Chains A and B, each alone.
Chain A
Amino acid sequence: MDTFASLAQGLSVATQPMNLLFALVGVLLGTAVGVLPGIGPALTVALLLPITFKLDPAGSIIMFAGIYYGGMYGGSTTAILLNTPGESASLATALEGNKMAKAGRGGPALATSAIGSFVAGTIATLGIAFLAPVLVELAIRFGPEDYFALMVLAFVTVSATFGDSPVRGLTSLFLGLFLGLVGIDLLTGQARLTFGVPELLDGVEITTLAVAVFAMGEALYVASRRHHGEEKIEPVRGSLWMTKEDWKRSWKPWLRGAAFGFPIGALPAGGAEIPTFMSYSTEKRLTKYPEEFGRGAIEGVAGPEAANNASAAGTLVPLLTLGLPTSATAAMMLAGFQQYGLNPGPLLFAEKPDIVWGLIASLFIANAMLLVLNLPLVGLWVRLLAIPQPWLYAGILVFAAMGTIAANPSPVELIMLSVFGVLGFLMRRFDYPIAPVVVGLILGPVAESQLRRALQINLGDPWVLVTSPIAATLLAIAFLALVAPFVLRGLGQFKASED
């Protein structure tokens, strides 16, 4: 299919007034939750799932994508002004950005991250538009055994790349897979791991788990460390505008950041932190002002922030073309598709082109909206940080509880919320990554049904996993990705050297 014709068609969907409104609500919400500590885009989408159930699918998914993009913009504001990166992807931004803010150059730091996010986001969205149809052509040839292999690969990369320890990442993943088993087996109608509790027959609600580990786990963790004191907000001082010099020093890092972010985000490798740190160290090496690094170099904000946004956009490629989420937010967006009975993949491109291309086109619009919203209004967003911490977390938990009850109105659901909340707290406390448990719950049942379908088609012959060249290749890569961290311990050292 011709990309330009599809994009034009998508643009006509995305510019419908209702969809523009959804995109606007999405980017506003996304920026707000990105700025606020304690809530991120993944949690916000999780909370919105039960609320949007009855709304128009295209509009809701456009809104979810707006939240994803907006969260990336908002997160950089917190990283720069508060030195508390909302997610690991903003860690690199905080390194130089907060130093700039302390030196009275908070304005240009925010500007270069917003403009850089826009540039990289636009490039990456173009990347989606051109790469997705190619991948779809490829994905049409995938059989169930290939999908299963692809999911195994995603399991390995998501759990071994997030966090530093493969054992802890895999532990988190398998907890998610375990929770995914609960409920009625769709192929045989057998109840598994329900222990006679009728509320468990439908399985563990994705919203409940996500809200519990993201919102409640975080609240418990922050409360348990409340006596360690609070971070200080740096006021935005000086001009918001970048000088000619700032522009000159920013544009190359933006482009390089996009070049790092998009491909790595698009690979089923998960985690925006790798490209951001790669961008950071590249800029540090290439800069003409090495003495400024560590004291507030604008390149160190421009590059990672561009990489961050480009990689967020990149994760939409495997999500849309293969139904494969490689980040927590992408996993929640997949749950968003699933609640409307839509399964991202080649079929979706063929059956619902208006939704897919409407979504891709709306990403351009969301990006432009975010640039307009963020640059002049940054003072307004910063004021969100003035909400007293007790009210902020209390409010988050009230909405978390509401989302949970709305998904399934039963006290049992609230009991599950508290159990998983404690789990999320312990995982944070003992440094287990959170995203794999959510990915495991969402993708585990899909992987199981693909495997069983593959074996049924081939009359129970397990060799199909090796005789299909695609599946064999993917499984081999998955095996390498699993073994490599144990052999090399490379990535951990790479990250440690940046601290």
Chain B
Amino acid sequence: MTRRRLDPAGLVAAAGLFALAVLIVVDMERMQIAPFYGIGPKAMPYAIAIGLAFLGLGNLALAFTGGFPERDSMDLKRVALILGGVVGMIGIVAFGFGFIAASMVLFASVARAFEEQPVPPLAGFGLMVSIGLLVVGLILSLAGVAFAGILIRVLVLASIALIGWTLLSRNGARNLAIGLALGLVAYLLFAKLLALTLPVGPLEQLL
């Protein structure tokens, strides 16, 4: 209980909260507004920024006083596999391959992440690297750097390939088939029957 070691998690949390507070202030300083009665659109953001900064201090205090609970070991390879599946889904939807194909990849990679068989270290490592690069690519493209779009495409394809390779293990084919069936049923039920807008690809156009 009385662990007094500095907890890096608290430092990261505090840094994140300070960053959000600064983000609000920067965005509000940019805003130009006409005069008004009462309080305008800037007041609440500033109040929240102050709150976030205070909570940053609070989290800093927690980090120094051992205010965070003890944590078990965790298997980041499985986390990476799920995130890889989501990234794969985003890529498939963004490239117009449709909802059903996306469901198939997502289902199979999440199912694989929950299977007893350990995730091969190489697959987990590769996924983590490609997710990390993808985040960098997204930040670059938001910042308006050229080539970011191409970079994202390459990385999405790379992570899909990696996921595919991981999925070829024991139950991969079966999980892909279940994912396909689930995506198909969900599409028919919700897009056709309830008229929801779901991403359409070549497969959906056949239906």
Contacts and interface: CB of A to CB of B under 8 A. Distances in A.
A390 B198 contact: no
Contacts of B44: 181, 448, 451
A246 interface: no
B183 A398 contact: yes
Contact of A394 (B61, B75, B118, B175): B175
Contacts of B67: 165, 167
Given A411-B94, A414-B93, A181 B78 contact: no
Nearest to B7: A430
Interface size class of A (residues with CB under 8 A): 35 or more
Given A394-B179, A421-B86, A178 B48 contact: yes
- For chain B, the bracket of interface size reads 35 or more
A459 B9 CA distance: 45
B163 interface: no
Contact of B107 (A174, A188, A398, A430): A398
A352 interface: no
A398 B106 contact: yes
A193 B66 CA distance: 33
A171 B76 CA distance: 25
A430 B13 contact: yes
B18 interface: no
B165 interface: no
Interface in A161-176: 165, 167-168, 170-171, 174-175
Interface string B179-207: 10011001000100011111100000000
Contacts of A409: 197-199
A406 B199 CA distance: 9
A422 B79 CA distance: 9
B68 interface: yes
B182 A193 contact: no
Nearest to B103: A398
B9 A430 contact: yes
Interface string B44-63: 11001001100100110110
A51 B37 CA distance: 40
Contact of B45 (A192, A394, A459): A192
B83 A418 contact: yes
Interface string A376-419: 00000000000001111111011101100110010100110110
Interface in A212-266: 216, 219-220, 222-228
B74 A224 contact: yes
Contact of A223 (B27, B82, B89, B190): B82
Contacts of A205: none
Nearest to A230: B116
A415 B110 contact: no
Contacts of B133: none
Contact of A51 (B87, B171, B196): B196
B121 interface: no
A295 interface: no
A414 B90 CA distance: 6
